[in-house]
Amino acid sequence: MNTITNPILRGFNPDPSICRAGDDYYIATSTFEWFPGVQIHHSKDLVHWRLAGHVLTRKSQLDMQGNIDSGGVWAPCLSYDNGTFYLVYTDVKSRIGAFKDTHNYLVTATDIEGPWSEPVYLNSSGFDPSLFHDDDGRKWLVNMLWDFRKGRNKFAGIVLQEYSAEQRKLVGPVVRIFEGTELKLTEGPHLYKRNGYYYLLTAEGGTQYGHAATMARSRSIEGPYEADPHNPILTSAGRPDLALQKAGHASLVETQTGEWYMVHLCGRPVKDRFCTLGRETAIQRCEWTEDGWLRLAGGTRHPQLYVPAPDLPPHPFGKEPERDDFDEPKLSPHWNTLRIPADPSWLSLTERPGYLRLRGMESMSSLHRQSLVARRQQAFRCEAETCLEFEPEHFQQMAGLILYYDTKDYVYLRLTHHEEGGAGLGIIRSKHGVYDELLDRDIRLQGKRFRLKAAIDRDTVRFYYGEGEAGGPWTAVGGPVDITHLCDEDPQYIRFTGTFVGMCAQDLGGTKKHADFDYFVYRETE
């Protein structure tokens, strides 16, 4: 029997929602403030996966300008019914403090690769919406309910309301169907139906090291729901020895051969408890007991690194190229932008064919208009390399190679104008919001064409530069830089994304000075 190696979606790919359409499997994952919204991965065997694209590709579907760090798209739910794909998602506008502004929407498509419809507004009562298609043709939305009041359980349970496809809105009463278990922090609900029972799968314990998946069931969709006496059915809590931590926020699928699998969120600490790759997606094989409860195969509740594959023909995909020469008129699906779509006002692949042109915009602290193009870091050891042509005329003009978590945490090998003429190369770091320059003085460079490289080795990065064309020598820039602060575990508040590597340009004077990037290489070395 073939084996699945976890995680199946490495790097920042949290809150997985899986569905099957015929012989094809699709997983939707959260993208938070990164655009386009909602990644879709595709498989035919649950072993091999490829990035199929994104759902929310237009500003009319997702307007995140000004969204806070770790806001934006939370926990999408992907489902398939009668030839149509449905995706519900939350656009989180605020999340710090007592209140959370969480707006829930629905989009549809007949092809997973789109085009996807304009969004239908659903509600704003909480986050993690999920759509269930009952066998009588009715559709139901569940989401967690947020209670901001003092002294209350903020995660106030799971609410249910019917969705009318004809009226394109929620209809009928809102019913609270489940208030959670003693693990609390009840969220991430999904409904399933089997042998006359409605099963409610939820995430509990919080999305950090106490995370878990729990199950409840009822003969009626409106409850009452009976919690599984052996909850949680999946968790890593209390097992620091496990390779996969933070296990929870799960979703189920039945194969065409009658086998059951659960995809779930997980994290892999790079050092101590720091998860620089963000929260990832793993999969576990499941079985049903004689009395109708779901269990992980093998009688455990802990996530396994290696899992038996289903009885399906192997279907590997070709390896993704390491190098992007920017020869196409649009970005590959592996590239992402912050909060705003790539548009000609700040990004072009055609003005200078074979180059990515970025016009400098706002600073790395901006929640609005950053000129940044990046991809996920998906391995603990990897290299990123680019070559840019840039002629800054002022210290407020910068461009270069960046490792970016959010506006508070990044490490940036940047070129800027040197006070004595030419370019100055240095390392900027923001750690928990505190700005620093890691070299005593910038390295003075002449010319306008420069190669930049970052070599990541688990918890550190080393930067290098070269002048002129590819193949020349590399010169180190400073020493190893700690990057464990590029992680979910912020000392002030929980956050939810992961480390990206990419290219950016800033012009804080507002003249939109451009930088041209000739190529980008992302190479995994572990």
Q: Supply the residues annotated as catalytic.
A: 15, 187
Distances (CA, A) of 129 to 77, 223, 269, 416: 7, 18, 29, 45
Distance CA 357, CA 343 (A): 11
Residue of 48, 91, 36, 43 lying closest to 66 (CA atoms) = 91
Q: How far apart are CA 53 and CA 78, in angstroms?
A: 14
Using CB atoms within 10 Å of the CB of residue 354, give its burial: 0 to 12 exposed, 13 to 18 middle, 19+ buried: exposed
Distance CA 168, CA 51 (A): 30
Q: How do beta strands 371-376 and 475-482 pair?
A: unpaired
Q: Which amino acid is at 241?
A: D
* Cα–Cα distance, 303 to 356 (Å, whole number): 41
User: What is the DSSP secondary structure assignment for residue 262, as one 8-state letter?
Assistant: E
Closest alpha carbon to 80 in 18, 16, 21: 21
Task: Find out whether 86 and 128 touch, Cβ atoms under 8 Å.
Answer: no
Q: Which of 404, 377, 434 is nearest to 504 (CA)?
A: 404
In angstroms, how far is the first alpha carbon of the chain from the final one? 26
